[in-house]
Amino acid sequence: MILALILTLLFGGCNRDADSYLIEGTTAKQSGYYYLLEGYNIVDSAEVVNGHYRFEGQIDARVPVRNIASASSAIEVVGNTRFAQVILEGGTIEVSEDDYSPTGGLKVVGTKGNEAMYNFAVEAMALQEQIRDCFDNTTRKRLMTRYEKLVDRTIRRNLDNYAGVNLLMASGGRYSAEQRREFIERMSSSMRQTEAVESMIENLNTNNN
């Protein structure tokens, strides 16, 4: 009976963790609010208390992503300077203010998908700046190849979370239909059931007919 209880706690806790998210945020402000948005529509708010705030809830398996923004009122959210995307996934998502962050003045880390997106954004911005400032064609081509490899590597390493979905959606014409199908086939079942991937599959099937 004790063993059964332990197993229930272990596996029950894992299931709850997989289906729910926790966002722990820190800010230099001692008061105010942070907001979660679906697109630009506010779906949740958290009061800042002594520089800390928290969001928690159930993950929307179809669209496991939201935007997060800082503001002193809901009216200011849309034009706010601190605005970033958050992948809602199990574990503790850590959000902090960072004026040098390439992701809207907010650093979003702590879980696999969010870590992957933040690290990608940092590396991608550095390479894009080098490409922009480079006037030597040979060096420029080498930098562009490095950028392409960064995109490809990040997608392939994150087919089990929404970071891979995000980057595949943003890849445009970088991949052929056959390559996109291959990526989708290698995704976890939970990612294949998201609204974004189902839309990609529908488009691939439509264009194939």
Low-confidence ranges of the chain (pLDDT < 50): 1-16
Q: How far is CA 36 from the centre of its chain?
A: 13
For residue 80, what is the DSSP state? -
The residue ranges of every structural domain in the chain are: 115-208
Whether the Cβ atoms of residue 127 and residue 143 lie closer than 8 Å to each other: yes
The C-alpha atoms of residue 196 and residue 157 are separated, in whole angstroms, by 18
User: What is the arrangement of strands in the sheet containing 33-38, beginning at the earlier edge strand?
Assistant: 41-47, 33-38, 65-71, 83-87
pLDDT, position 80: 61
Mean confidence (pLDDT) of the chain: 86
Name the strand (E) or helix (H) holding 53: strand 52-58
pLDDT in tens, 57-115: 999 999 999 999 987 556 666 666 688 999 999 999 999 998 888 878 899 999 999 99
DSSP 134-149: ---HHHHHHHHHHHHH
The neighbour count for residue 66, using CB atoms within 10 Å, is 21
